Structure 1
Amino acid sequence: MTADVESVFRAEYGRAVAVLVRFLGDIDLAEEAVQDAFTVAVRTWPDKGVPPSPAGWIITTARNRAIDRLRREAGRDARHAEAARLYAADPPAEEGPVRDDRLRLIFTCCHPALAVPAQVALTLRLLGGLGTAQIARAFLVPEPTMAQRLVRAKAKIRNAGIPYRVPRDADLPDRLRGVLAVVYLIYNEGYDGDPGLCAEAVRLARLLAELMPDEPEVTGLLALLLLTESRRPARTDADGALVPLPEQDRSRWDRTLIAEGQDLVRRCLRRGRPGPYQIQAAINAVHSDAPSAEATDWGQIRQLYDQLMALAPSPVVALNRAVAVAETEGAEPALALVDALDLDGYHVFHAVHADLLRRLGRTAEALDAYDRALALAPGPAERRYLERRRRELVT
Structure 2
Amino acid sequence: MTSGTSWGDGTRSVRAGEGAPVAGAPLRPSPVFAAPFHLADLPPRAGGADAYARTEHPTLRDFEGAVGELDGGRCLSFATGMAALTAAVLACAGSGDRVVLPSDGYYTTRLLAAQELRRFGIEVQYVPTLGIAEFAAGGGLDGVRLVLLETPSNPQLDVCDIAAVARAAKASGALLAVDNTTATPLGQRPLELGADMTVGSDTKALTGHSDLLLGHVSTADDELYRRLQGWRNHSGSTPGPFEAWLGHRSMSTLDLRLARQAANAAAVADLLASAPGVAGVRWPWRPEDPSFALAARQMLRPNGVVSAELADEDAVARLLAGSRLWTAATSFGGVHSTIDRRAQWGADDVAPGFVRLSCGIEDTADLVADLSAALRALA
TM-score range, shorter chain: under 0.3
- More helix per residue: 1
- More strand per residue: 2
Please say which structure displays the higher CA radius of gyration: 1
Normalising by structure 2, we get a TM-score of 0.26
